[in-house]
Amino acid sequence: MHDLAMQLAVIGGAGIASQWVAWRLQIPAIVMLLGVGLVFGPLTGMMNPREDFGELYTPLVSTAVAIILFEGGLTLNFREIRETSTAVRRVVLVSGPLVWGMTALAAHYVGGMAWPIAIILGALLVVTGPTVIMPLLRHARLRARPASLLRWEAILNDPVGALFAVVSFEAYLVLRGDDNAEHLVLMTVAALVVAVAGGILVGRALTTFFARGYAPEYLKAPILLAAVVGMNALTNMLLEEAGLLTVTVMGITMANTRLASLAELQKFKETITVLLVSGLFIILTASLQRSVILSLEWRVVAFLALVLLVIRPAAIFASTIGAGLGFRERLLVSWIAPRGIVAVAVAGLFGASLARIGMEDADRMVAYTFAVVAATILLHGFTLKPLAKLLDLRVTNRPGILIVGASRFSIALAQRLKAQEVPVLIADSNWSHVSEARLAEVEVWFGEILSEEAHHSLDLSRFDHMIAATDNDAYNALVCTDFGAEIGRSEVFQIGATAGGQQSGGARHVMHFTLGGMPLFKPPRTYNKLRDDIIDGWTFQATRLTPEFGLEQFQGSRPEGTLPVLWIRPSHEIVFAASEGAGEPVPGDTIISFGPARADRDQEKIVRGTLTERDARREKARKTSEEVSKQAEGTN
């Protein structure tokens, strides 16, 4: 397939399809992309992007990697690593050089490579790759501290490892006499100054430019994208691949400023990154030559064992002594170090350059790099989740629900969910409301849920669903709109009037359909109505359906007006009754319903003539006596 337009279309379609299939099957997306690239390239020979793209191949890959690293930098807020800042510094500044040195030794003595090739390979394998680690973290749902450490290491180590490789390559050229040491030192220092100082200055300048309104909203993302591409190219003119450090510094600088448009810019860049990662991984894997893969011999197995089981664990455990991490966290981090796009891209770049100057091991360096990338993607991709579960470093094994607003209604719902072992948390900025929830022994978070502090101190990965249940419909809609992008628009619900719901005052009082979340009840039920229901004795009940007691029997046994809120499947999946396409609960599901108390049902029977008033009074007296007895027992 040599038609570039068709090739790009196939790569783009296959990349996004792989992402979707991986999401449906709950497997790491990067594994699917690796398989697709192998099928398109070495296995079938359908395409070879390196040859087909020609001279555009290297700059396109370099630019795409720069955009990916910039987007990663935009997610790195210093407030996020208050507990792991020492560990992050140690892992980057101490563990990185240790991995470089030990890997070079392994490549020379075990892999049989010449020293220049071994040193460059050692530098390449310092990187851990955000393009791989980010999807794995999203899939594994790690606790905040190890997840933060792995994410920071991956993003910071990518440009650092690339620079190690560049300096090693340039130093080898100096030793060959193809360059001079003074020029290398000058260019390296200049590149570092431009990368660090230039990245900070441009990041702050763009922040000020946007904050003062010098650019309209629709131009901010394009301006940012152009600045990233330009700074990457400018720094690369001084030192190859140094632009990766520049754009990473730019991203971190902007992430730690108070820019109102940052959330929208992050969403735009994340969308581009998903597209680039999907396409790049297929392109880089498809560009591998079958001969390179076949050149792998028995030595590579011993090399992989050393890199994965000795070098990485030794470097991590040595560098994190006294860094505030627990043994289980250090053990997890010492195992998880998947390599990704940057390692493959830079290896291909230097492999071609070294081959041109007559280095025999150049192709073997590319093959070894690909072997490490493939092995770490498969091994770490499929073991991160079970290992995190074994070490008890996952946030939860069950889907959780975040409730905003600590009313009597939401506290009663949280208590019923807690009784069913569903992780639940109530967030509210009113201390008296939070105190009531605490007295009910419900986990709470005191503060403004829309604040920056909430996004950094509250681990939102624990929750798959959210319910906005305050007394302000507009605020509920704002909360659902804000969290919908992160949790999923079909998984955020609100009480009261919703977009498109019936409100008094006509169409001018109805919010736009793009705002807010799904209604928790159909038809929508207001805060005041729910409050009155609670006062009238309405309660939440949990009822498990069985083959003998199905949905029809459940509906017949409930008082008139009972509202199913959600049901919990045996797999712990939570399905809200108001969701589109929710279907109906089946035997084995547990229904959480909200309805009148039993006394109201007895009153219905009186009206129907099936229960006398004397029987009702007797039943009420019996229940009161039982409650008094229980209270007396509790006092004793």
Strand, helix or coil for residue 505: coil
Sheet containing 590-595, strands listed edge to edge, beginning at the edge strand earlier in sequence: 539-544, 590-595, 563-568, 574-576
pLDDT reading at 542 higher than 80: yes
- 24 dihedral zone (left: phi>0; alpha: psi -120 to 50; beta): alpha
CA distance 127 to 158: 5
CA distance 262 to 255: 7
Sheet containing 400-404, strands listed edge to edge, beginning at the edge strand earlier in sequence: 444-446, 424-428, 400-404, 463-468, 492-494, 518-519
Look at residues 144, 90, 112, 53 and name the one whose alpha carbon lies nearest to residue 317: 90
Report which of residues 347 and 620 the model is more confident about.
347
Look at residues 277, 254, 249, 280 and name the one whose alpha carbon lies nearest to residue 266: 254
Straight-line distance from the first to the last Cα atom of the chain, in angstroms, rounded to the nearest whole number: 83
pLDDT reading at 116 higher than 70: yes
Using pLDDT thresholds of 50, 70 and 90, give the confidence band for residue 514: low
**Cβ–Cβ < 8 Å for 316, 333:** yes
CA distance 635 to 632: 5
- Joined tokens for residue 389: 């579960």
Task: Output the pLDDT for position 416.
Answer: 94
Strand, helix or coil for residue 512: coil
How does the average pLDDT of the chain come out, rounded?
A: 83
For 558-596, how does the pLDDT look when each residue is reduced to its tens digit (9 = 90+)?
Answer: 888 899 999 999 988 899 998 877 788 999 999 999 999
For 408-432, how does the pLDDT look when each residue is reduced to its tens digit (9 = 90+)?
Answer: 999 999 999 999 989 999 999 888 8
C-alpha to C-alpha distances, 82 to 147, 151, 629, nearest whole angstrom: 13, 14, 51
In this prediction, residues 259-274 reach a mean pLDDT of 77
Task: Output the pLDDT for position 510.
Answer: 58
Strand, helix or coil for residue 592: strand
pLDDT reading at 81 higher than 90: no
Q: Helix H segments across 213-361?
A: 217-238, 243-255, 262-286, 290-294, 299-306, 312-319, 327-335, 341-356
- 609 dihedral zone (left: phi>0; alpha: psi -120 to 50; beta): left
Using pLDDT thresholds of 50, 70 and 90, give the confidence band for residue 599: low
CA distance 245 to 242: 6
CA distance 199 to 204: 9
Task: Output the pLDDT for position 608.
Answer: 46
Task: Output the pLDDT for position 395.
Answer: 73
CA distance 543 to 549: 10
For 314-329, how does the pLDDT look when each residue is reduced to its tens digit (9 = 90+)?
Answer: 999 999 998 888 999 9
In this prediction, residues 198-208 reach a mean pLDDT of 93
Task: Output the pLDDT for position 404.
Answer: 94
Task: Output the pLDDT for position 64.
Answer: 87
Strand, helix or coil for residue 222: helix
What's the maximum distance between 2 C-alpha atoms anywhere in the chain? 108
Cis preceding-peptide flag for 523 (omega within 30 of 0) = yes
pLDDT reading at 636 higher than 70: no
